[in-house]
Amino acid sequence: MTTVNIKDEFIKLGQALKLAGVTMSGVEAKFMIQDGLVKVNGSVETQRGKKLYDGDKFEYDGKEFVIKAVN
What does the pLDDT profile of the chain (71 residues) look like in tens digits?
999 999 999 999 999 999 999 999 989 999 999 999 999 999 999 998 999 999 999 999 999 999 999 97
**Predicted pLDDT at 60:** 96
pLDDT at 47: 92
pLDDT value for 32: 96
2-69 is a CATH 3.10.290.10 domain: yes
- Separation of alpha carbons 12 and 69, rounded Å: 13
Q: Residue 24 burial (CB < 10 Å; 0-12/13-18/19+)?
A: exposed
For the chain, domain boundaries: 2-69
C-alpha distances (whole Å) from 65 to each of 3, 39, 56, 69 are 6, 10, 9, 13
